[in-house]
Amino acid sequence: MRLLYCGDIMGKPGRDAVLTYIPQLRRDLSLDFVVACGENAAHGFGITAAICQNFYDAGVDVITLGNHAWDQREIINFISAEPRLLRPINYPPEAPGQGMGLYKTAKGRRVMVVQVMCRLFMDPLDDPFRALEEVLSQHPLRDAADAIIVDVHGEATSEKGALGFIADGRASMVVGSHSHIPTADTRIMPGGTAFQTDAGMCGPFDSVIGMKKHIATAKFVTKMPTERLEPADGEGTLCGVYVETDDRTGLALRAEPVRVGGVLKPALPS
């Protein structure tokens, strides 16, 4: 299978990048399945039902969230009835929605998507290691799904790497989200799982992680309350990770970064 994971979609520039490039990438790379992190899509804070539908129409199959899951309150009711929208699996059981789902591609292949949220420098959710271990133990690759995609939403690169390590050999790909900067460690781990610490954002990189520079910088410089953070303007870059899997094992045969548009150096599978 040919899979694409896209990092955090930041504001209108990120939405525009996804709506522009996903249809092209689906066609040019013959993609079977696309996952995108949408937690910053609504002006940097959460997502709405209308934005979700726009992404589905453009060719995104599943949208993950993160620590900004509930910033747009309308999503609290929407997520309970929308299986293609996932929040972290280690939220307390009382939280609406689900943290994993099993989906079928147009060719009838089964893809499981899981999102787990880290705890270092993040909200103190339930143990992400225990949550991910439980899912992978109960849903073996190839038995439960032909491919398994894990979105690790977190701040600390060490914690993301550790979660990737415990998933190695049991997932097709593990990709980090949240920190908005694409890392240069795209690889296939010894057990056969594709990994990248952070996919980077789909958004404007002439910014401070997608926010207007002068507002974000003032917070650091003055340590005083300033105006509300606002997504930066300008053309967005779509950042993601492309993975090809072995149909026999579900493990990765190929993993490459994807960067299209905006100011970053382009990167596409050859």
101-157: pLDDT as tens digits: 999 999 999 999 999 999 999 989 999 999 999 999 999 999 999 999 999 999 999
Mean pLDDT of 243-260: 98
Which of the four pLDDT bands, split at 50, 70 and 90, describes residue 228?
Answer: confident
CATH code where residue 69 lies: 3.60.21.10
In a domain, 245, yes or no: yes
Angle 157-167/128-138 helices, nearest 10 degrees? 20
Residue 129 and residue 176: Cα distance in Å, rounded?
14
Report the range of poorest mean pLDDT among 55-69, 161-175, 181-195, 215-229: 215-229
Q: Is residue 136 part of a domain?
A: yes
- Residue 94 counted as domain residue: yes
Residues involved in catalysis: 68
DSSP 138-153: HS-BTTTBSEEEEEEE
CA dihedral 48, 125, 121, 195 (to 10 degrees): -80
Percent of the chain with pLDDT over 70: 100
- The angle subtended at Cα 75 by Cα 70 and Cα 80, nearest 5°, is 110
CB 115 within 8 A of CB 99: yes
- pLDDT tier at 74 (50, 70, 90 boundaries)? very high
Containing structural domain, residue 213 = 2-260
Token match 């699996």: residue? 89
Task: Name 69's bridge partners.
Answer: none
Residue 270 located in a structural domain: no
Instruction: Establish if 269 belongs to a structural domain.
Output: no
Q: What pLDDT sits at residue 21?
A: 98
Q: How many domains does the chain have?
A: 1
Residue 268: inside a domain, yes or no?
no
Amino acid at the residue 16: D
Please tell me the pTM assigned to this model.
0.96
Residue pair 14/202 in contact by the 8 Å Cβ criterion? yes
In angstroms, the Cα distances linking 4 to 26, 48, 83, 218 are 9, 22, 19, 36
* Alpha carbon of residue 139 to chain centroid: 20
**Span 56-63, mean pLDDT?**
98
Position 266 in a domain = no
Determine, yes or no, domain membership for 265. no
**Stretch 8-29: mean pLDDT:** 98
Q: With 90 as the cut, is the pLDDT of residue 204 above it?
A: yes
Q: What are phi and psi of 97, to 5 degrees?
A: 85, -170
Which residue is listed with tokens 């910014």?
207
